[in-house]
Amino acid sequence: MRRTALPASLLLLLLPAAAAADILVIGGRPVRATWWEDGNEIVVNPYNSTNHAMTFGVERHPKSRIKVADIRSSETPEEEYCRRAFEARGGDAKAHRDLAAWCVEKKRPELAAREWERAMECDPADAEARRALGEKGVKEVLRRNGKANPALGEILKEYLEADNPATRRVLRERAAKEHGCDLPGSFLERAWRSACRPRGRTDDVPLAFRSDKVKGPVGVRYTAFVPSTYDPLRATPLLVGLHGGGTGGKDGTKVVGSGPGAMNFYTGIAEERGWIVVCPTAIQAPWNATPNEAFLEALLEEATRFYNVDLNRIYLTGHSMGGFGTWHFGPLWAERWAAISPMAGGGSPATGVLKDTQTFIFIFHGADDNVVGPDADRQAAKAHLKNGNDFAYTELNGVGHGCPQEVLQEMAAHFEVKRLAVGRGKAFKRSDEIRSSFLEKVTKEEKAYLGDPEPPDPDAGASKPEAERKRLLAELDLGGGRAQEAAAKFAASKDEDAVKPLSARLSAAGKVPDDVRAAAAKALGGIGSAEALPALERALIDANDPVFLAALGAVEAIGDRKAGPGVLRALGFQAKQFAGRLSGSSMDFSDYEPRCGALGSAALVAGSLSDPATAVAQIRDNLVRPSLETRVVVRAAANAGEDPAAVKSALGRDAAQALRRTGHASAAEVLKALRAACKGDSVVEEACDAALQDLANPVPPPASPTGPPGSGEK
């Protein structure tokens, strides 16, 4: 029987506040372990888990054998401070004054100064905090901390909201003149750039950093989460989450699992604790495949330049295949991670390097995991225990290959008190410093891939059209996120003189990277010139999905019915692609999902731009009959979030909407057949009913036959 997940708020009450183990004396021998009382017994967990449901390796001793009064905490003063600081977060000035007094008692003056400053953030006039900091300390706080100095805070707030470089220069000069603010211009520009990025969750962000070097068959992407409390002026912890899955597809080259799927684990703890999260989608499975190393390297660079990250608080975790990946990249880059957490995976415990770098390890596995058995992680836990490493291992019954919320909460509680150990060789020491990534030196690569964070010259004249076009083409040639930004700028400029060089890039299959070609197609659609149609129509039979979909979207945006025959050819091409991924009557989900998506998208545009009667027949023969009326058995992994029924529903809905777009009477018969084939699927049935109703009550066509098609259904 599987355990029922508990609400996060209740879990916080049930789990111990501290994640640290204690030192107990058992039979005259000191033992580091977590413990709790159960009737007349003391339950001892030598693997340091705080989850009382764990049974693996847990010992029970009569209370007479262990003197509770003699138990002492193994938590270091620095870890205790981190825990107390988290508990004080959001408190009033008194909460921070009390913590500052505790820091003084523990002889940690630098941490006390941090808390006095936090007290001033709550109450800038706090007399006790000002007295403790002294005149020099207060002056230092007031010239850089906009929360402790509201007047400076207003200037910095305006800075983050100012689009005009000239305005930002004036505000920067005001901050320096009126408050002595000496925050570097690159820090402020990075903060401004960061403030422009979306909060909350953003799926499938195209990688920009080293995007001309890091390539994947369908693009290189990651999913990002930015908590609502994120302040671009303040360093924030970063969690990197690796997804599970494996290899898939008819030829075994597809990646099962994704960054968006992994992100579902982490948004709750990230919002609660104020962490940034990035979850990459592997270029190739498994995670230790060669292309992924360059990807993760570039992703860390990008994340720490787009967001104000505390470089002493970067954490790594992953589940299933991601657990194996964490066992790989954790020891490989041990000097980068404050802590790692492999879950439901396995790999070398690397006890030596993780101990040398003082990297904390939180391991989790289900005792009844029938996908990846727990033996490898059990052996790793035993090795870390024997070697005296800083670690915890939680193993639960009844969770299978899952990852319960209570485990994520336990991981987060452990991570909260861990900081990076800095050093070389075996001489590492944990650092209490808050180290902002925005204070790092500006590099040529940052300028090339993410833009120059040095303050721009507001007096520089506007670029001439030719120079601006050349600059945007150079950005587009970088691929990835920078190319997508360039495509958006081309669309905004409506620069028809760019159609020729963009078309040339789109048409250069095999010579120009596919992500650059896809961006070129997007730019052409934004410019909206019919001159681009020949190149776009050729791309409608491109085997690379991002190129095909970008070209299809561009053709739809241009909205010229002259492209109708080309779109019908694209629909036929996608039908052949669908059939080619079949093995008999079955298909792997990692093939099924993209093939259905491409088919549905082609049908929708065909319904808008192609000859109505021909479009109905082609949608029937290339989509409805072979993929919806014919039974396709889809091989899927439910534990990776693969849902063939949802994909089929979306395809059926697209088919119905495409038929409705044709407006042709012959579509009614196909719609009825589609509805019968998908009987019981309310999504498809409702789409068919709406289409049939529209066909029975037709709306007069628009006056212009070349106007952009409607797309309000999706």
pLDDT of the residue at 459? 67
Average confidence score pLDDT of the chain: 93
Number of CB atoms found within 10 A of residue 377's CB: 27
Residue 26: per-residue pLDDT: 86
Predicted pLDDT at 702: 60
Three-state DSSP class for residue 381: helix
Cα separation, 714 vs 399, in Å, equals 38
Cα 155 to Cα 182: distance, rounded to the nearest angstrom: 13
How high is the pLDDT of residue 18?
A: 42
Tell me which H or E stretch contains 155: helix 150-161
- Phi/psi zone of residue 649: left (φ > 0), alpha (ψ -120 to 50 degrees), beta? alpha
And the tokens for 235? Answer: 């360093």
pLDDT tens digits for 69-89? 888 998 999 999 999 999 999
Structure confidence by residue, pLDDT tens digits, 6-63: 333 333 333 333 457 899 888 888 899 999 999 999 999 999 999 999 999 999 999 8
pLDDT at 133 over 80: yes
Residue 186 has pLDDT above 70, yes or no: yes
699 pLDDT tier (thresholds 50, 70, 90): low
CB atoms within 10 A of CB 501: 16
Q: Is the pLDDT of residue 558 over 90?
A: yes
- pLDDT at position 84, please? 95
The alpha helices in 46-108, defined as continuous H runs, are 77-88, 93-105
pLDDT of residue 13: 32
CATH of domain 479-696: 1.25.10.10
H/E stretch holding 479 reads: none
What's the rounded Cα separation, in Å, for the pair 21 and 19? 7
pLDDT reading at 217 higher than 70 = yes
Lowest mean pLDDT across 116-125, 178-187, 444-453, 691-700: 691-700
β-partners of residue 254 are 248
The pLDDT score that the predictor gives to residue 4 is 38
Map out the domains of the chain as residue ranges. Answer: 21-72, 77-191, 199-438, 479-696
Tell whether the model's pLDDT for residue 650 goes beyond 50: yes
Q: Looking at the DSSP assignment, which residues form a beta bridge with residue 663? A: none
Residue that the structure tokens 């009477």 belong to: 665
Minimum mean pLDDT among 309-323, 374-388, 451-465, 493-507: which range? 451-465
d(CA 227, CA 313): 16
Q: Which residue has the tokens 């007031």?
A: 142
Task: Write the CB contacts of 182 (distance below 8 Å, at least 6 apart in sequence).
Answer: 143, 144, 176
**Percent of the chain beyond pLDDT 90?**
88
pLDDT higher than threshold 70 for residue 703: no
Q: What is the pLDDT at residue 457?
A: 72
Residue 10 confidence (pLDDT): 33
> What pLDDT is recorded for position 103?
97
Alpha helices (H) along 348-498: 351-356, 375-387, 405-416, 444-450, 465-476, 480-493
pLDDT average, residue stretch 267-277: 97
Q: What is the pLDDT of residue 426?
A: 79
What sign does the CA torsion over 74, 79, 81, 87 have?
negative
* Whether pLDDT at 196 is above 50: yes
Radius of gyration of the chain (CA): 29
Tokens of 531: 């001159």
Cα–Cα distance between 490 and 527 in angstroms, integer?
7
Class of domain 199-438: alpha beta
Give me the pLDDT at residue 9, please: 35
Integer Cα distance of 292 and 338 in angstroms: 21
Please tell me which residue, 13 or 257, carries the higher pLDDT value.
Answer: 257
Average pLDDT estimate for 315-329:
98
pLDDT at position 462 = 64
Looking at residue 16, what is its pLDDT? 38
What's the DSSP call for residue 625?
I
Compute the average pLDDT of residues 596-619: 98
